Each structure stands twice: as C-alpha cells, then as structure tokens.
Copies of this chain bind each other. A is one copy, B any other.
Amino acid sequence: MIAPMNQPATTPFAPPFADLPPGPCWAVIFSSVRSAEDEAGYEATAARMVELAAQQPGFQGVESARGADGFGITVSYWASEEAIAAWRRHAEHALAREQGRARWYSGFALRVARVERAYGSTGSHDDTAT
C-alpha cells in the first residue's frame, strides 16, 4: 500500500520510530559528533530536551541514533515552521544549544526540510511503496 503523505493514523509506529500524524510535516535533521566531554551532563540534557520538545505545540515526534564512533543523527518532526521557530526560541532549549556548541559537540550540521512523502513498515503492518 502506498502512503503518499505520512502514515495513516492507524499505522502502529512506536518508539524508536516517530508515529507521524497525517498532514503537513517538517523535519529538523540534526547531526553531530560528540566530544569526549561531560557524558553525564550531555545525557541528562539530551533526555530533558526530548521531554521538553514533546510538550511543545506542533511537535510530532523524534527519532535518534548515535553510533560508537560518536556520530549521531536526531530528526524531530513538527507541524509547521512556526512550531520549529518557537521551539528554537525556548529559553531552556537555547541554553542547551549553547552548551552543546561549547562543550558537547565537536561539530554539527542542521537541516530543516519539508516532508513530502513517507512510507514505512513495522512488520505487522506495511505501508511500503515498492
């Protein structure tokens, strides 16, 4: 079955996958290399940011992976560019971002993209376009 725009609401995507609702969707693709510094502080703040992001208007979901080499990708999904801008202005997020740049990351890249199509399969349910 082809799902031309996101998954239907019935798709049983569960963490670690983001279960995106139908409708407009924006992706913030954040990739980074962790410095060796302050693992405990980094982990606590990263967890807090996920918790806080999930409370923001327009938040749709997040997926995150980091390999043993320290390179990681986190993709958060949002209903609008306004929602992304508001989250960017959030004071606690801004502070975390500063700490990240100063201490936790030796490099990063951030791309903001508008999601045009989505497919997926969790095994039990298949929205795959082949």
Contacts and interface: CB of A to CB of B under 8 A. Distances in A.
Interface of A: 7, 13, 16-18, 20, 25-27, 29, 31, 33, 63-69, 71-73, 75, 81, 97, 101, 106-123, 128, 130
A123 B108 CA distance: 9
Q: Tell me how many chains of this kind the complex includes.
A: 2
Contact of A121 (B25, B108, B112, B119): B108
6 contacts: A16-B31, A27-B27, A27-B111, A31-B65, A106-B122, A112-B116
Nearest to A12: B107
A117 to B, nearest CB: 4
Contacts of A13: 109
B123 A71 contact: no
A57 B72 CA distance: 27
A16 B113 contact: no
Contact of A123 (B27, B107, B110): B107
B31 A75 contact: yes
